[in-house]
Amino acid sequence: NAGVTQTPKFQVLKTGQSMTLQCAQDMNHEYMSWYRQDPGMGLRLIHYSVGAGITDQGEVPNGYNVSRSTTEDFPLRLLSAAPSQTSVYFCASSLGGSGNTIYFGEGSWLTVV
């Protein structure tokens, strides 16, 4: 009953460091995405993927990379962390299609100092 699993849950980075947030889902969903949550702004789409080998940019992609080598995994890479990337990151998956439920992971709290 895992659903969407994200690691790590908490991370502190220094400015300029790189890191990868891991995301895996076991529901055989084709569609996966990454959002960031900032106070008073709801969630904003960073990158998304509609299937293995296919990724595209969302609304706020700068400073992030993604890849989708398998249906299950969708890691998010911070290339050179900046304080503006301090946020809560959520991975999500769904079957795709406008009416389908999007399932979210537990979130990753990232602080860049």
Q: Which residues of this protein are in contact with another protein, per CB under 8 A?
A: 4, 31, 33, 40-45, 48, 50, 56, 58-59, 90, 94, 96-107, 109
| Tokens, residue 103 | 């399932």
Distance of closest approach, residue 90 Cβ to another protein, in angstroms = 6
Residue closer to another protein by CB (options 6, 85) is 6
Tell me the C-alpha distance between 112 and 47, whole Å.
20
Tell me the C-alpha distance between 106 and 31, whole Å.
18
Beta strand pairing status for 10-13 and 108-112? parallel
Distance of closest approach, residue 22 Cβ to another protein, in angstroms = 15
Residue closer to another protein by CB (options 44, 77) is 44
